[in-house]
Structure formats: C-alpha cells, structure tokens
Amino acid sequence: MTIIINLDVEMAKQKMSLTELSEQVGITMSNLSNLKTGKAKAIRFSTLEAICNALKCQPGDILEFREDRMG
C-alpha cells in the first residue's frame, strides 16, 4: 500500500508557497518539505488540522491511499 501526499496540489490551488504555509502552520519548512515529498513517516493530527485550516481543505484532499497492484 502507498499513501500519496497531495500537499503541492492543495498549495497550488491556494497559490501558497512553502514559506507561507510554514509560517501559518508553525512547523519548519524542512518538515513541510519532507511531508510534501513523501519522505515523512508520520503526521500528527494537530499538524494535519493546521495544514487543512491554512489551505481550506479536507484531510482527504491531502492524503490519498493507493493499493499496490502486484501480479
């Protein structure tokens, strides 16, 4: 299974930069970048809530589940 992070899509919809989102959410640009590129292993609900609040979106707009299809 794969969890896809669509943070860049939601940021583009709101025309928001990583710097702006970082300032509004209160987490480092480095941590946001890790989340955006899929390098993060986890996300706190409080962080997800703050991101959704800043981007005016739902958690499902940012997180997407894709089932691996092998064989």
Confidence label for 70 from pLDDT (cuts 50, 70 and 90): low
pLDDT at 55 over 60: yes
Structural domain range at position 11: 2-66
Give the integer Cα–Cα distance in Å for 41 and 20: 23
**pLDDT at position 68, please?**
77
Confidence label for 1 from pLDDT (cuts 50, 70 and 90): low
Residue at 61 is within a domain: yes
List 5's β-bridge partners, or say none. Answer: 63
Residue 45 belongs to a domain with what CATH number? 1.10.260.40
Phi, psi of 68 (to 5 degrees): -70, 135
Residue at 71 is within a domain: no
Q: What is the pTM of this model?
A: 0.88
pLDDT digits (tens, 9 = 90+) for 29-51: 999 999 999 899 999 999 999 99
User: Do 32 and 25 form a contact (C-beta atoms < 8 A)?
Assistant: yes
Structural domains counted in the chain: 1
Residue at 6 is within a domain: yes
